[in-house]
Structure 1
Amino acid sequence: MDSIEFGLKAVKLSVNGCLSNKEPWQIVTMTATSVLIATWIWQFLFNHEKDLKDRSKQFVFSLVKKLPWVARELDKELKKINCEFENDIIKRNKGRPYITELPKNSLTSEEILILVKDYVSLGDYDWKKGYVSGTVYCNNEELINLMTQVYGIASYTNPLHSDVFPGVCKMEAEVVRICANLFNGGPNACGTMTTGGTESILMACKAYRDYAKYVKGINYPEIVLPITAHPAFDKAASYFKMRIVHVAIDPVTTAVDIKLMKRAISQNTCMLVGSKPNYPYGTADDIEGIAALGLKYNIPVHVDCCLGGFLTAFMPAAGFNIRPYDFSLQGVTSISADTHKYGFAPKGSSVILYSDFKYRLHQFCVTTDWPGGVYGSPTVNGSRAGGIIAACWATLMYFGIDGYVEATSRIIKTTKFIETELRKIDGIFIFGKPETSVIAIGSNKFHIYLLSEALGKKGWNLNPLQFPVGIHICITNMHSEPGVAEMFVNDVNECVNEILKNPNDKDMGKMAIYGMAQSIPDRTVVSDFTRLFISSNYYTPSSQQQSQSSADMNEDSSIKIKTSSANGFYRRLP
């Protein structure tokens, strides 16, 4: 103890000696400056929303972008890209004039329906014949007519007012219970409907953030998840001030590395995540291994089944083996599944399910001191579309177990056929082992985006992947129609053979900008032009631009707008 006291006295004498010739204002200034610098360093090193590597790169690139010549060049390129996006929007809309003001007189129902049909018909890809990956999962005319009637009946209902619309709330409760049973939930299994997979994931993250804070005392919650997990988790972290800890995958299986996930767990981990299957490769994480980690460290485990949940739930009955992943597996505490994908319900419906009521309670948002009264809502939205809830409920009733098992059988068989045939084509390979309906394609002999561009010219719309580069197709009901799968395989084979004649070609057409994005080390720049792309979808050209666009398109006979019954109504509008 004497040595410690002696050391402290020595430090005091040394500091006093150094400051003995300083003015009081100088001492105050030095102290304040030191505190500010120390605070900045502390926040930089121990920021709980991003890791040190990402923050360091972002800091360096932000300094570089402040250099005048760099800023000028970057601004020039962003304006160029923005212009390309806006021009592409005009072309995609085939020169149709934009309605930017209310019409002076109301249109008739017939006129409105003609315009709506004209708008919906825009687009270059024939999704009804299976030329699109995922996106629309069912094209059943009888079901569409039923959904139109059901939504019309319930279109103005709102489950927020449960006393006014108890029947819609009953439908939602039944959808949740049916789904909980499909995923082998026990008597305490529960959940809510949401507007889609992203909101389902947001709600799970919100619930576990609050559970961690109020039950376990974790103030800086972290989500540990594979790099292949859906970006909705990153969105949730951004919204709810959580930190994401990404875990690498096995390069062969493309499933998360369980050993690395175990190392990533800390005292701040509030949830572990696995996908069944993941979106990029269609492969599945080791949910059993993740659930075991959750049990060992008392951490909730979320299984993202948004994409394929309504396939995996019926695969055993359809004759396909699948490893445990749902509430039958001890340790799994929540599941997200999209009813508007392979549940075939209209867009805008999903479910978030929990193994126990204690988790769902933390999903709810409640305000007790508002002058308008006590307010509570189960999900992000306050008012919700009762029509969507009714349509989802009606879809479940329409298909029943037998209908879903039959659809699952066709889709999985089609997927396996396409996977088997693609593996026979020299020049490409399949990532991992597809679990349900997604097949990811890569190549070691040419840039795979060349194949995407070539297939695009034949009418196919596939999804690009990055890190590593690839493309994938998500098989839907339309692909299981006679001849569609065979046509896709033949087109891939034909395109690959043509590409292999000149495998070093760099002309990737529309995919070039996507390929360029992957080579930019400063991801904030990629983020900038992604925001520009999103903004372009809200772009409304001026009258002069619209006139010029129409003139340009009419000069090109290949895309000349055909006279339609909608044109007369356009002329009536401002």
Structure 2
Amino acid sequence: MDLDKMISSLNGFRADVNSRLSQYEPLALVLLPILTLFVARIVRSIFYVVSEKGVKSAAVELIMAFVKSVPGVKKYIDSEKQKVVDKLQGSTKSKRDGWLTELPSTGLKVEVISKLKEQKQKDVAWEGKCSGTVYIAGNEQEGHFSIINEACSMFAHTNPLHLDVFPSVVKFEAEVVAMTAKLLGSKEKVSGGQVCGNMTSGGTESILLAVKTSRDYMKAKKGITNPEMIIPVSAHSAYDKAAQYFKIKLWRVPVDQDFRADVKAIKKRINKNTILIIGSAPGYPHGIIDPIEELGELASAHGICLHVDLCLGGFVLPFARKLGYPVPPFDFSVQGVTSISVDVHKYGLAPKGTSVVLYRDHDIRKHQFVAVTEWTGGLYISPTIAGSRPGGLIAGAWAAMMSLGLEGYLKNTREIMEASKKIENGVRQIPELFVIGRPDMTIVAFGSDILDIFEVNDAMSSKGWHLNALQRPNSIHICVTLQHVNVTEEFLHDLRSSVQTVKANPGPVKGGLAPIYGAAGRMPDRAMVQDLLVDYMDTTC
């Protein structure tokens, strides 16, 4: 075949192919944009996962998704996961045997009290050996409990939702808020000044309200409809809850080498959708105060909100400063702080279920309220997440604050700060351990480069101590309260003994939680850890 014939044959073949393809051209014109959009969405999803979770986490997530798709693997993983859940549950199922599932046919009347006492005796002996949990102790404990118990009982039937019926607890709430605001930088009385707030059921509700309020305030102020907030990894998990509840994108950024919020890292994450940044005074894990002044400058410069979590520090830091401790700025005296959460039921020594959320001014707080005008039940407005609220707890908080007064809080703060420093110094003298950062307040967190710190925790548990396990880095902490003032030497003695026990006999203690904490920390698939927690909670509550 000569060259001309070959070219002629090729041209004929090309014409035939073009003719056949032209039949599918309309379909191609329809499918091509769809295929392009599909590919673009895949690329965008991958980019989103990588940008939000980082390359390493995103890669692990994709690999684990592929592994789970292999036949039989998911079934095996679920089986192994259930084993861990069963171990976490421990003897929970057997403990639930005999629990009531229906009303008694005849009311028990006063016999109820004896049954309450019977069950109370089964609680852990928490006096002196619990991290946080109960904040009052000593000779004054019984008297203080009596005062707040009587206050709670006297107003147990009240509800501040009905402010026309129960003006007493409405007044108590306003005064608790005003007294708390005065401690935290308010220069005027709340009733006639700027700083304002409400009482809530606890730190989580205070944080939820502050986040919701910041979201709605920034929407009104800047028109932000796709809100984002930025928090250090040390910030409380209540912010994750708020992000889920209120559909806010959450960015967690690393802390610096001193375990304080990294201002530069936070600044890099700020964009047109940022509504809120967070600082803690101190952070729950390590008891370290974030650089609130620098965060305030950052918030002011970008016209966004700054919430300071003072749930732990609100009833310690103002008094520690008066006592001469080096406390950096942390409250409304810092320009840029728009809201604060502070628990009265911690170092305020109020009954459990009492916290305060504060705002710099009324223009911000108005966005906390929910007003309903079209309900057939009438006009409705509620300041907090709860509608009805227990007036007895409000009265109890007021009674606690009035009973102790400035003098009482100064005395308590002096004692717990001294106890905290004794424990910190004692831990630093144990060669196998190291203290995380430089604690600013009443939490001492420590880990080990030599031993499994969770095994040390199990050894301490066997001696009756109830400490808190942390991660990244693996560590444990004690939140020092008045319970510990007279047992610091006992704590350090038991800690030294536990370290030596683990050092001489490394390995998990039977029935201890070290293997579970260790496995969770090493598990690259965090979604699996999340599933474990959800499964555990689902079967225990």
Structure 1 residues 420-569: aligned runs within 5 Å:
420-480=425-485, 482=486, 484-502=487-505, 505=507, 509-538=512-541
Determine the structure 1 residue equivalent to 2:125: 126
Distance in 2 (CA, whole Å) between partners of 1:536 and 1:243 is 29
- Structure 1 length-normalised TM: 0.84
Distance in 2 (CA, whole Å) between partners of 1:367 and 1:52 is 42
Q: Which amino acid aligns with 1:135?
A: T
* Structure 2: runs of 5 or more not aligned: 1-17, 188-192
Q: Which amino acid aligns with 1:116?
A: L
Determine the structure 2 residue equivalent to 1:371: 376
Determine the structure 1 residue equivalent to 2:316: 311
Distance in 1 (CA, whole Å) between partners of 2:20 and 2:277 is 52
Q: Which amino acid aligns with 2:133?
A: T
Determine the structure 1 residue equivalent to 2:175: 174
Determine the structure 2 residue equivalent to 1:345: 350
Q: Which amino acid aligns with 1:243?
A: K
Structure 1 residues 78-117: aligned runs within 5 Å:
78-90=81-93, 93=95, 97-109=98-110, 111-117=111-117
Q: Which moved more, 1:82-91 or 1:17-26?
A: 17-26
Q: Which moved more, 1:189-198 or 1:357-366?
A: 357-366
* 1:64–1:162 distance in 2 versus 1, CA, 3 Å: farther
Identity %: 40
The alpha-carbon deviation at position 62 of structure 1 amounts to 3.5
CA contact (8 A) 2:235 2:283 kept: yes
Distance in 2 (CA, whole Å) between partners of 1:49 and 1:176 is 41
The alpha-carbon deviation at position 58 of structure 1 amounts to 4.0
The alpha-carbon deviation at position 317 of structure 1 amounts to 2.2
The alpha-carbon deviation at position 388 of structure 1 amounts to 1.1
Secondary structure of 1:390's counterpart equals: helix
CA contact (8 A) 2:459 2:509 kept: no
* 1:380–1:63 distance in 2 versus 1, CA, 3 Å: farther
Is 1:159 aligned with 2:157? no
Q: Give CA deviations for 1:7-66 in whole Å, capped at 9, x if unaligned.
A: xxxxxxxxx999843264564355445445544554564589955756665454334323
Q: Which moved more, 1:383-392 or 1:316-325?
A: 316-325
CA contact (8 A) 2:206 2:341 kept: yes
* 1:440–1:507 distance in 2 versus 1, CA, 3 Å: same
Is 1:299 aligned with 2:304? yes
Secondary structure of 1:310's counterpart equals: coil
Determine the structure 1 residue equivalent to 2:245: 239
CA contact (8 A) 1:291 1:301 kept: yes
CA contact (8 A) 2:339 2:357 kept: yes
Secondary structure of 2:341's counterpart equals: strand
Determine the structure 2 residue equivalent to 1:22: 24
Secondary structure of 1:127's counterpart equals: coil
* 1:17–1:489 distance in 2 versus 1, CA, 3 Å: farther
The alpha-carbon deviation at position 285 of structure 1 amounts to 0.9
Distance in 2 (CA, whole Å) between partners of 1:360 and 1:17 is 71
CA contact (8 A) 2:231 2:279 kept: yes
CA contact (8 A) 1:85 1:536 kept: no
* 1:141–1:238 distance in 2 versus 1, CA, 3 Å: same
Determine the structure 2 residue equivalent to 1:381: 386
The alpha-carbon deviation at position 499 of structure 1 amounts to 2.7
Q: Which amino acid aligns with 1:138?
A: I
Determine the structure 1 residue equivalent to 2:133: 135
CA contact (8 A) 1:48 1:242 kept: no
Q: Give CA deviations for 1:265-311 in whole Å, capped at 9, x if unaligned.
A: 22221111111100111111111111111122222211111112110
* 1:472–1:87 distance in 2 versus 1, CA, 3 Å: closer
The alpha-carbon deviation at position 148 of structure 1 amounts to 2.0
The alpha-carbon deviation at position 86 of structure 1 amounts to 4.0
Distance in 1 (CA, whole Å) between partners of 2:20 and 2:294 is 59
Q: Which amino acid aligns with 1:512?
A: P
Secondary structure of 2:356's counterpart equals: strand
Q: Which moved more, 1:241-250 or 1:51-60?
A: 51-60
Secondary structure of 2:320's counterpart equals: coil
- Structure 2 length-normalised TM: 0.89
Distance in 1 (CA, whole Å) between partners of 2:427 and 2:53 is 39
Q: Give CA deviations for 1:505-550 in whole Å, capped at 9, x if unaligned.
A: 4558322111111111111111111112222332xxxxxxxxxxxx
Secondary structure of 2:72's counterpart equals: helix
Distance in 1 (CA, whole Å) between partners of 2:244 and 2:50 is 11
**Which of 217, 224, 230 does residue 218 from structure 1 map onto?**
224
Determine the structure 2 residue equivalent to 1:228: 234
CA contact (8 A) 1:49 1:242 kept: no
CA contact (8 A) 1:269 1:299 kept: yes
The alpha-carbon deviation at position 169 of structure 1 amounts to 1.3
Distance in 2 (CA, whole Å) between partners of 1:443 and 1:48 is 32
Q: Give CA deviations for 1:348-370 in whole Å, capped at 9, x if unaligned.
A: 11011111111111111222222
The alpha-carbon deviation at position 97 of structure 1 amounts to 2.0
Q: Give CA deviations for 1:385-437 in whole Å, capped at 9, x if unaligned.
A: 11111111111111111111111111101001111121111111101111111
* 1:145–1:537 distance in 2 versus 1, CA, 3 Å: farther
Distance in 1 (CA, whole Å) between partners of 2:40 and 2:372 is 38
* Structure 1: runs of 5 or more not aligned: 1-15, 539-574
Q: Which amino acid aligns with 1:344?
A: L
* 1:31–1:136 distance in 2 versus 1, CA, 3 Å: same
CA contact (8 A) 1:154 1:387 kept: yes
* 1:424–1:86 distance in 2 versus 1, CA, 3 Å: closer
Distance in 1 (CA, whole Å) between partners of 2:49 and 2:69 is 23
* 1:510–1:210 distance in 2 versus 1, CA, 3 Å: same
CA contact (8 A) 2:203 2:343 kept: yes
* 1:352–1:30 distance in 2 versus 1, CA, 3 Å: same
Distance in 2 (CA, whole Å) between partners of 1:26 and 1:262 is 47
Q: Which amino acid aligns with 1:357?
A: H
* 1:436–1:19 distance in 2 versus 1, CA, 3 Å: farther
Q: Which amino acid aligns with 1:61?
A: M
* 1:513–1:18 distance in 2 versus 1, CA, 3 Å: farther
Determine the structure 2 residue equivalent to 1:568: none
CA contact (8 A) 1:50 1:243 kept: no
Q: Give CA deviations for 1:439-495 in whole Å, capped at 9, x if unaligned.
A: 001111111112111111111111001111000000011101x3x111001111122
Determine the structure 1 residue equivalent to 2:194: 188
* 1:391–1:164 distance in 2 versus 1, CA, 3 Å: same
CA contact (8 A) 1:137 1:344 kept: yes
**Which of 290, 310, 323 does residue 328 from structure 2 map onto?**
323
CA contact (8 A) 2:430 2:496 kept: yes
Distance in 2 (CA, whole Å) between partners of 1:227 and 1:201 is 16
Q: Which amino acid aligns with 1:329?
A: V
Q: Give CA deviations for 1:372-397 in whole Å, capped at 9, x if unaligned.
A: 22222111111111111111111111
Q: Which amino acid aligns with 1:126?
A: A
Secondary structure of 2:367's counterpart equals: coil
Distance in 2 (CA, whole Å) between partners of 1:63 and 1:191 is 50
Q: CA RMSD in A?
A: 2.4
Determine the structure 2 residue equivalent to 1:405: 410
Determine the structure 1 residue equivalent to 2:9: none
The alpha-carbon deviation at position 324 of structure 1 amounts to 1.0
Distance in 2 (CA, whole Å) between partners of 1:477 and 1:275 is 22
Distance in 1 (CA, whole Å) between partners of 2:200 and 2:59 is 37
